[in-house]
Structure 1
Amino acid sequence: MTVRISDLHIAREDALPTPQALHEELTCSADQAAFIAAARAGVRRILRGDDDRLLVIAGPCSVHEPASAVDYAGRLRALAEREADTLLVVMRVYFEKPRTRMGWKGLIYDPGLDDSGDIGEGLRAARRLLLECARLGLPAASEILDLITPQYYAELLSWGAIGARTVESPLHRQMASALSAPLGFKNTTQGGVGVAIDAIHVAGQSHRFPSISLQGQAIVVTTTGNPDAHLVLRGGADGPNYDAASVAAAAQALAAAGLPARLLVDCSHGNSAKDWRRQPEVAADLARQVAAGSRAIAGV
């Protein structure tokens, strides 16, 4: 009798379309691609200090209903146009939720919000929404959480993030080296920036690792490194880190590591004590720092 030793905890398997099939089903037009490329270039100029505008990444914690997100995008686009001389506004369009414990994992994993787990439809919904943002002329940002799903939509992002729970992951660091958009690494949930600075350095290097191709084939990719990885201060268990002293210390740590001393500051999470009503207070403090001459703050 043969003893079964594999797939002991697999209940079922469902096929997904290949990334290429989804790209062909929901195609990025030449105009949309040109817009995304231009938006990324704008983000890069701000991060490098070549553009005096501030980068502003704004939007809901996560997308749970695409129609509402499209309505929000239209409203945000109007504000972005009005403030375009001083701000580059990018919409936060988050599809995957990192969970410390169990909970809704995001639109990609459960688009019906009913535990049905229709990931194929979730990927379609995510790609469809990002294409709509590009059609509206609004750059989009998202956290890169899964190692496979970026092949389905990441080319539509103008900015990406590696979150506080995955910033130490070697797999996410090497994946970041392959991504085409500028990418922010958040400090750890405790609040330290050293791990994120290490991640920025690693993501900027060439890596060779297994992945899947657009055709769904297992491959090995060799990357060139992402030159636009940067630090995002989001506070942590040790307290907020948006104050002038914390920003200056982080900038000095970046410079000491041979990295550009430019960073973003998250007005939420640990910096607002997880109270959304405090975000304007954080933003106002950062505005005062910029007005006082801080060159470290590239955006929020």
Structure 2
Amino acid sequence: MSDSAQESERGQIHAIREAIAEGKNPLSMQGISRWENEVGIDPIINRRVLELDPLPAPADVLAQYPLTAKSRELVAYSRDELRACLYGQDDRLVVIVGPCSIHDPSAALDYAHRLAAMKQELDSELLIIMRVYFEKPRTTVGWKGLINDPDVDGSHNIRKGLLLARKTLIGVLDQGLAAATEFLEPTSPQFIADAVTWGAIGARNTESQIHRQLASGLSMPVGFKNATDGSVKVAIDGCYTAAQRHTFFGIDHRGRAAAVETLGNPDCHVVLRGSSHGPNYDAQSVADAMASIRHEMSEDSAAAHGLIIDAAHGNSGKNEKQEIRVVRDISQRIAAGERNITGIMMESFIEGGNQPAAPLSKLVYGKSITDRCISWPDTEALLHELADAVRSRRWN
């Protein structure tokens, strides 16, 4: 079938589906049967589904864009380094830093090049991992990230987004940087998880059984954020649940429906990110959270040894100037000997602040289209301050 014929048929399918969704009868029963047989429209099963666009199997994507031997070694080694920091065997501070979300792969790799130089300079004090976030959870609606809508125009070319995400991760690894990301869609890890050193379960999903089960089978440490209302208990429960064995619905590397059985992930830990009621990065909040964690979690778990502070989101009111102050407050406490904080997260990009989402041609280069980010010059200064704080803590 020619491209124009395929496009015409797609247009007819959309029209029929929309009519069915509105309760109309666009076809006779004979016509409906024909369309059910030929293009898969079923007004009972898919009344509100406009289209099912098949995606490539994860195995095919990984074969098309494989990790090099050097990148595989980097992922494996950085995961071990991260575990050592989380369990207190390595006294470096974990720093997860980078854009709120990736919308321009070229700008992301530009940022990665800059961050790689800082990693090389400060590696004795800081374990630097770059935020490479492709999926954005939404309270209501909005741009859902590079995988969902790579052209930032509402076209939702997920096939393109998946491939772009994987290529971007490979580019970050090629710079010698480990990568961190949030896992939102339960099937997306099959396409990208082999390139990820640290995973996050966000505040909106930390209570989700699906995401707790997912974390139980992931091969890297995973941070559970406190809920948007401030509850740390749900993050602790997430860590506890993810440490257990589970069996659940999923897909395999060929994209086939599968019953997934996991071993459990003991490397999960709590991330304090503030809430709609205010920040929770202060010393008392950290002490209270650690007391609750140690009451619930085994000493064999990463969570019992310390937590990560997210300096953005509720801890800064999504204001990058306040985020800078939060990082400096934490830096001073680390320098004074604070031991319960094993890591910090910062939202940072080339340009400070943010801008409305739009196609690339209409955007300022290197500036966030989601949350406000700390500028690169300020990021450099903060990384040096954190490294100085770690040196001071070693003397305490």
Correspondence 1:78 to 2:117:
yes
**Equivalent residue pairs, number:** 300
Distance (Å, rounded) in 2 between the aligned partners of 1:258 and 1:167: 16
Alignment partner, residue 199 of structure 2: 160
* One-letter identity of the residue aligned with 2:264: G
What are the within-5 Å matches in structure 2 for residues 144-293 of structure 1? Answer: 144-259=183-298, 260-293=304-337
What are the within-5 Å matches in structure 2 for residues 75-154 of structure 1? Answer: 75-154=114-193
Q: Is the CA contact (8 Å cut-off) linking 1:56 and 1:89 kept in structure 2?
A: yes
Q: Is the CA contact (8 Å cut-off) linking 1:188 and 1:236 kept in structure 2?
A: yes
Q: Is the CA contact (8 Å cut-off) linking 1:47 and 1:262 kept in structure 2?
A: yes
Q: Structure 1, residues 171-199: CA drift from partner, whole Å, max 9, x if none?
A: 10001101011100000001110000000
Could you tell me the TM-score, scaled by structure 1's length?
0.98
Per-residue deviation, 1:227: 1.2
Aligned partner of residue 97 in structure 1, secondary structure: coil
* One-letter identity of the residue aligned with 1:31: K
Alignment partner, residue 69 of structure 2: 30
Per-residue deviation, 1:296: 0.7
Per-residue deviation, 1:19: 0.2
Q: Is the CA contact (8 Å cut-off) linking 1:208 and 1:221 kept in structure 2?
A: yes
Alignment partner, residue 95 of structure 2: 56
* One-letter identity of the residue aligned with 1:270: G
Distance (Å, rounded) in 2 between the aligned partners of 1:125 and 1:286: 35
Aligned partner of residue 265 in structure 2, secondary structure: coil
Structure whose alpha-carbon radius of gyration is higher: 2
Q: Which runs of 4+ in 1 moved over 3 A?
A: 1-4
Alignment partner, residue 56 of structure 2: 17
Per-residue deviation, 1:215: 0.6
Q: Is the CA contact (8 Å cut-off) linking 1:174 and 1:203 kept in structure 2?
A: yes
Per-residue deviation, 1:232: 0.2
Q: Is the CA contact (8 Å cut-off) linking 1:130 and 1:140 kept in structure 2?
A: yes
Per-residue deviation, 1:226: 0.7
Distance (Å, rounded) in 1 between the aligned partners of 2:100 and 2:327: 17
Q: Is the CA contact (8 Å cut-off) linking 1:254 and 1:261 kept in structure 2?
A: no
Per-residue deviation, 1:258: 2.5
Q: Is the CA contact (8 Å cut-off) linking 1:90 and 1:141 kept in structure 2?
A: yes
Match of 1:5 among 44, 48, 53: 44
Per-residue deviation, 1:284: 1.3
Aligned partner of residue 177 in structure 1, secondary structure: helix
Distance (Å, rounded) in 1 between the aligned partners of 2:86 and 2:162: 30
Per-residue deviation, 1:137: 0.6
Q: Is the CA contact (8 Å cut-off) linking 2:86 and 2:305 kept in structure 1?
A: no
> Aligned in 2, Cα 1:91/1:200: closer, same or farther, shift over 3 Å?
same
Q: Is the CA contact (8 Å cut-off) linking 2:216 and 2:245 kept in structure 1?
A: yes
Q: Is the CA contact (8 Å cut-off) linking 1:54 and 1:299 kept in structure 2?
A: yes
Per-residue deviation, 1:278: 1.1
Per-residue deviation, 1:279: 1.2
Q: Is the CA contact (8 Å cut-off) linking 1:252 and 1:261 kept in structure 2?
A: no
Percent of residue pairs bearing the same amino acid type:
46
Q: Is the CA contact (8 Å cut-off) linking 2:87 and 2:305 kept in structure 1?
A: no
Distance (Å, rounded) in 1 between the aligned partners of 2:43 and 2:250: 28
Per-residue deviation, 1:238: 2.0
* One-letter identity of the residue aligned with 1:27: P
* One-letter identity of the residue aligned with 2:325: E
* One-letter identity of the residue aligned with 2:44: I
Greater fraction helix:
2
Q: Structure 1, residues 46-102: CA drift from partner, whole Å, max 9, x if none?
A: 000000100000011100010000000000000111110100100001001101111
Give the unaligned 5+ runs of structure 1.
Answer: none
Per-residue deviation, 1:283: 1.0
Aligned partner of residue 130 in structure 2, secondary structure: strand
Distance (Å, rounded) in 1 between the aligned partners of 2:100 and 2:116: 18
Per-residue deviation, 1:273: 1.2
- What is the alpha-carbon root mean square deviation over aligned residues? 1.2
Aligned partner of residue 212 in structure 2, secondary structure: helix
Query: Which segment drifts farther, 128-137 or 46-55?
Result: 128-137
Alignment partner, residue 43 of structure 1: 82
